[in-house]
Structure 1
Amino acid sequence: MNNDAHQEDQEVGKATREEVRREARKEARTVDVTVVGAGPVGLLLAAELALAGATVHVLERRTEPDTALKAQGINMPTAEALDRRGLLPAAEAVQRETLKRVGPFGPAADGRGAPGAGQRAPWSRFTGHFAGMVLDPDLVDWSDPDLAAHTAAGGARMVPQRELEALLAEHAARLGVTVRRGVEVTALEDTGDGVVVGTSAGTVRTGWLVGCDGGHSAVRRLAGIGFPGTDPEIVGYQAVADIADPETLTDGWTWSPEGVYRYGPQPGRVATVEFGVTPADRSAPVSLDEVQGSLRRVSGTDVTLTALRAVPTRWSDHTRQAAAYRSGRVLLAGDAAHVHPPFGGQGLNLGAGDAMNLGWKLGAVLAGWAPEGLLDTYDTERRPLGAWVLDWTRAQIGVLRGDAKSAALRGIVADLLSTRDGTTYAVKKISGVDQRVDLSGGLPGGPPCAPSGDHPLVGRLVPDLWLADASRLADHGHGGGFLLLDRTRDGAFARTASAWADRVRSVTDDDHATPTGGPVGVPTGVLVRPDGVVAWAFSDDDGAADSSSSSARASSGITGLEAALLRWAGMP
């Protein structure tokens, strides 16, 4: 045998052996997706994947759920995500219990109105704060189109992170998701057709790996994904404690040369921020003496804490965003992809948005009806929102500091926030109701597609859309998938989408119904992605026009719907 033939045989043999190994890896794979981290983001992502038909399990290094004090509420996109999955009643029950503990924030605290009324009462009086400056709900213009379009889930805003995690754990368990606790990820290898994950409990073979394991993410580190950003300059604590002399503290937020502290709204709840200080060991447990020392330094009092009634937390203002949300078959979500100061609980909500966006896209790729390039839109859509949140929290640190320049700036911002326009602007930003995703451009590896269109709803979160039977469009999305609202007289849009019936649920409605208005009034047709983002919308504004022009408009709407379906829901 000559050398060329021998070399050729070797190459064939090598290829054959590699194929055998690849097939063996496929056979050994136990799940489609392994999610690392059983916090709210990991649990929500796992549930979305399960709804999409994927097999998924969750690995969590903690042996028990985290009971530390964290975010005390959720924003409107997170509340609406729960609503679309049928979890709104459970979330509203949590809010009612929370209000019992901390007291109502004013009238209409449950944020609910008469079902089917087409318009609900204003949100809970919980509006949030900017750098410790509490936003007055009486100054908010609740008739603002963005706010008025999102009211149905207003009674589920005060859902603390611990209770949210428990709610999502039950939801994921109902969908068959397994959570393996006490398992730490120690190594990973992306083999191109899967990921081999080394853990403290042995080797796991999985199709895809998603790190939802926090700011110190082992998945991000092992995948070699950079985490650029800014270093910490402050340290903060939050705790609920028994206080021997609470009268020494002032209710609300109070500034001093050393920092800022907040007392309330519930008895014993304290939070501190110290300037120019960074924690020596951020991984060490937070002690009573540590919290008391910080509170004494910032308040300038000899206040005495006698016991901690909840696990306290320590945080800083280090602010970072992953260089990439995806590397091959490894993806990041939540704090693994971005960290920042916790003002307003933005991290929890940002992570929930990541989970909703990634869940259906990865599920679609696994189901085979979407190209892998769809996953690239996860980074392009979520990264700008992450960058905005990082800057929003950085700005608050700049206003919060105790130096004279920051104090002067804080006075100006306080004046702006004492106006109707200023407060409404801040509430819209904090609540997330004005979020918009850029849907321009095609999908890498996908078919050519028409532009998304210029309808004002495209790229926005779907507003409350009431139907003639007193239900809402969101009520029809509990099983995941796309939703199509068709309010044409002949059901033309639903017929168009019938070829995608395995992925798109069509809801027809009387076109004379008067559902809740929004920034654009009542659309004739709306296609909503599983993450709540409007992919296509059509409004036949001139219903009294002649039949030929009406027919032309309907034809244009059908063409746009077909393009949106091909782009986001794959080939029929």
Structure 2
Amino acid sequence: MSVISTHVLIVGAGPIGLALATDLGSRGVDCRVVERLESLDVSDPKIMHVSVRTMEFCRRLGISQAVRHWGFPEEHPQDTAFVTSMTGHELARINVPSIADTPPSPFSPEETTHCPQNWFDPILRERAAAYSSVRFEYGKELIGYDQDDNGVEARLRDVVDGAEETIHAQYLVACDGYHSTVRPTFGVSMTGRQRVDYSVNILFRSGALRGAQPFADALRYVLIGPEGTWGTLWSVDGRDVWRLTVYGTDGAGINALDPDDAIDRLGLPGLRYEILSVTRWTRRALVAERMQDRRVFLAGDSAHVTPPNGGLGMNTGFADAMNLGWKLAAVLEGWADAGLLDTYETERMPVVQFAVDEAMRNYTRITEDTTLDGLDADTDEGERIREELGSRLRAENVKAWRPVGVHLGYVYSSSAIVADASPQQSESEESEEYEPSTIPGVRAPHAWLRDGRSTLDLFGAGYALLTFGADRDNIAEFLRAAALHSVPVEVHDLTDQGFASLYQRRLVLVRPDGHVAWRGDEFTDVNLLVDSLRGVRSSGDCSPR
């Protein structure tokens, strides 16, 4: 019989694999992270945008301050500017305050932040490596696996010497991206758009660029010529590192693109710069048909590939990891049934599809109907064209930048969520809209406690039961039922905190991932409710009263 080498084998040491490893490490779960590359120094930071929800997860993992204050100038505006060139006309601007000037959010103790992948990944990796239960192995590729009721037998190969080994794990999670070695074994395809466009990222250093362009500083410049939207320019570090992304419909043209010609197209003659990396890639919008095959799971880009517009890709994958991590831990610790793991796909698939669709809407908002003759003409007609385009771009895109509703408003529905009679929320295309609620399945709302913590700081380890003047004997009955199965529940009496109306019921039960599992004014069938929390399927009624 094989010796269990690890409880969870994670394939891929990118941000999603790191997020899952950190979450499992924080729960004391033994896990092993294997990565086929010998190192993951990020020369092309594809990730720039860390959403407010991901920052809340980072807060629980103990790294939100490091992510927020990694070194980007805190007075630098985080605007998006639409320009005809870097010395041409500014068409529109979406103002986003600097880190220093960002007002406190009424909805979260955290805020969306700019943290490029070459800073974000090392912060996560250092945090994960701090847990003794987490082990990293680079230069190891997965070449196959088999699974049965006892676990997963994974075959690994050393990329340098070709040596092979077999690892026995209870569960395997593929976080190895679009070109996953695990997903093909599922026998599922990815549906959606295999090609939205072809693109090239050009990372370069230029200390002169900020002083050469006439506009106020921005975090991102969307470049629109008479031929339409052709690229975006990001200020990566707020100083002298930039990333230019060029869009193209012709793959051969993108492959033949001269990076120097692309930088010249910015309209800054004589600009001194150093090219650091060039990456050619395909923009896709795809979702796998399934995210789970018994003991094997897909997370991040192995399960869904999202256009980067709006920063939904990594942030959606991060939420995959946070949904799956506590469930794996609960089953491995023995207090949850394996049925709890089946809720991962059920809960995440609708959210993932919505994120991909929203990213496509974001892409369309900056590219559609932008091909206009005379756009850069210094005439009255040119001015009219620019004013009309700028007005439309601002109106259509202001909702897409920091879309709080998309990041905080998604809803889970599964057997691990006990619905009540309230009308169920659904994601809205009005992405800036968000209304806090405790309808089962939503993210439990933030409020500041008197001791300076957020309500979100109460969630994470196990279930959190928030009480607002409920009957103590009734609560004790539920706690006894939970204790019979070792279900971890921590009670927080918030009667005197002044925000009972925000939580809407006398009892609100919050899962370790911060989503509401159940709410009511009193417990009814406590045994049935505990079974739901444990992932045990039953046909009874534990609806709240």
In which range does the TM-score fall when normalised by the shorter chain?
Answer: 0.7 to 0.9
TM-score, with length taken from structure 2: 0.76
Q: How big is the shift at 1:334?
A: 0.4
Query: 1:334 matched to which residue of 2?
Result: 300
Query: 1:193 matched to which residue of 2?
Result: 150
> How far apart in 1 are the matches of 2:196 and 2:386?
18
* Contact 2:305-2:313 at 8 Å conserved across structures: yes
Query: 1:32 matched to which residue of 2?
Result: 7
* Contact 1:484-1:494 at 8 Å conserved across structures: no
> How far apart in 1 are the matches of 2:474 and 2:344?
27
**Residues 345-383 of structure 1: CA deviation (Å, up to 9, x unaligned):** 211101100000111122222233333232222112111
* Contact 2:224-2:230 at 8 Å conserved across structures: yes
> How far apart in 2 are the matches of 1:561 and 1:413?
59
Q: How big is the shift at 1:410?
A: 11
**Residues 78-102 of structure 1: CA deviation (Å, up to 9, x unaligned):** 01111223333333332xx2235xx
> How far apart in 2 are the matches of 1:60 and 1:199?
10
* Contact 1:233-1:277 at 8 Å conserved across structures: no
Q: How many pairs align?
A: 481
Rate the CA distance shift 1:506–1:268 in 2: closer, same or farther, 3 A. closer
* Contact 1:38-1:58 at 8 Å conserved across structures: yes
Query: 1:204 matched to which residue of 2?
Result: 167
Q: Which residues of 2 match residues 337-348 of structure 1 at below 5 A?
A: 337-348=303-314
> How far apart in 1 are the matches of 2:254 and 2:296?
29
Q: How big is the shift at 1:454?
A: 2.4
Of the two structures, which has the highest relative contact order with CA contacts closer than 8 Å and spacing of 6 or more?
1
SS in 2 for 1:343: coil
Query: 1:559 matched to which residue of 2?
Result: 524
Query: 1:12 matched to which residue of 2?
Result: none
Runs of 5+ unmatched residues, structure 2: 84-90, 98-102, 159-164, 216-220, 376-384, 424-436, 537-545
Deviates more, 1:231-240 or 1:360-369: 231-240
SS in 1 for 2:143: strand
Query: 2:326 matched to which residue of 1?
Result: 360
Runs of 5+ unmatched residues, structure 1: 1-23, 106-125, 139-143, 444-448, 539-555
Q: Which amino acid aligns with 2:193?
A: T
SS in 1 for 2:231: strand
> How far apart in 2 are the matches of 1:185 and 1:169?
20
Q: Which amino acid aligns with 2:33?
A: V
Query: 1:253 matched to which residue of 2?
Result: 222
- Aligned with 1:317 (options 283, 286, 290): 283
> How far apart in 2 are the matches of 1:300 and 1:128?
18
Rate the CA distance shift 1:328–1:60 in 2: closer, same or farther, 3 A. same
Q: Which amino acid aligns with 1:73?
A: H
- Aligned with 1:41 (options 16, 21, 31): 16
Query: 2:446 matched to which residue of 1?
Result: 464
Q: Which amino acid aligns with 1:532?
A: G
* Contact 1:400-1:406 at 8 Å conserved across structures: no
Rate the CA distance shift 1:207–1:504 in 2: closer, same or farther, 3 A. closer
Matched, 1:271 2:244: yes
* Contact 2:196-2:285 at 8 Å conserved across structures: no
Q: How big is the shift at 1:344?
A: 2.5
* Contact 1:38-1:59 at 8 Å conserved across structures: yes
- Aligned with 1:179 (options 120, 136, 156): 136
Q: Determine which structure has the larger strand proportion and give its number.
A: 2
Matched, 1:508 2:499: no
Query: 2:378 matched to which residue of 1?
Result: none
Q: Which residues of 2 match residues 226-245 of structure 1 at below 5 A?
A: 226-243=189-206
Query: 1:81 matched to which residue of 2?
Result: 57
Matched, 1:451 2:410: no
- Aligned with 1:262 (options 226, 229, 232): 232
* Contact 1:84-1:476 at 8 Å conserved across structures: no
> How far apart in 2 are the matches of 1:385 and 1:406?
36
Q: How big is the shift at 1:431?
A: 6.6
Rate the CA distance shift 1:168–1:89 in 2: closer, same or farther, 3 A. same
Q: How big is the shift at 1:207?
A: 1.8
Matched, 1:307 2:274: yes
Rate the CA distance shift 1:329–1:84 in 2: closer, same or farther, 3 A. same
Matched, 1:291 2:259: yes
Query: 1:165 matched to which residue of 2?
Result: 121
Query: 1:543 matched to which residue of 2?
Result: none
SS in 2 for 1:30: strand
Q: How big is the shift at 1:442?
A: 3.0
* Contact 2:339-2:535 at 8 Å conserved across structures: no
Q: Which amino acid aligns with 2:275?
A: L
TM-score, with length taken from structure 1: 0.73
* Contact 2:29-2:329 at 8 Å conserved across structures: yes
> How far apart in 2 are the matches of 1:511 and 1:402?
52
SS in 2 for 1:204: strand
* Higher CA-based Rg: 1
> How far apart in 1 are the matches of 2:298 and 2:386?
35
Q: Which residues of 2 match residues 502-541 of structure 1 at below 5 A?
A: 502-514=486-498, 520=502, 524-538=506-520
Matched, 1:104 2:69: no
> How far apart in 2 are the matches of 1:174 and 1:160?
22
Rate the CA distance shift 1:250–1:299 in 2: closer, same or farther, 3 A. farther
Rate the CA distance shift 1:438–1:128 in 2: closer, same or farther, 3 A. farther
SS in 2 for 1:344: coil
Query: 2:430 matched to which residue of 1?
Result: none
Query: 1:486 matched to which residue of 2?
Result: 467
Rate the CA distance shift 1:51–1:300 in 2: closer, same or farther, 3 A. closer
* Contact 1:496-1:562 at 8 Å conserved across structures: no
Root-mean-square deviation (CA, aligned residues, Å) is 3.9
Q: Which amino acid aligns with 2:139?
A: G
SS in 2 for 1:208: strand
Matched, 1:429 2:392: no
Q: How big is the shift at 1:411?
A: 8.8
Rate the CA distance shift 1:399–1:487 in 2: closer, same or farther, 3 A. closer
* Contact 2:152-2:170 at 8 Å conserved across structures: yes
> How far apart in 2 are the matches of 1:61 and 1:280?
31
SS in 1 for 2:13: coil
> How far apart in 2 are the matches of 1:57 and 1:364?
18
> How far apart in 1 are the matches of 2:445 and 2:249?
43
SS in 2 for 1:557: coil
Q: Which amino acid aligns with 1:85?
A: L
Query: 2:353 matched to which residue of 1?
Result: 387
* Contact 2:206-2:272 at 8 Å conserved across structures: yes
* Contact 2:459-2:513 at 8 Å conserved across structures: no
> How far apart in 1 are the matches of 2:172 and 2:498?
45
Rate the CA distance shift 1:244–1:98 in 2: closer, same or farther, 3 A. closer
Rate the CA distance shift 1:215–1:279 in 2: closer, same or farther, 3 A. farther
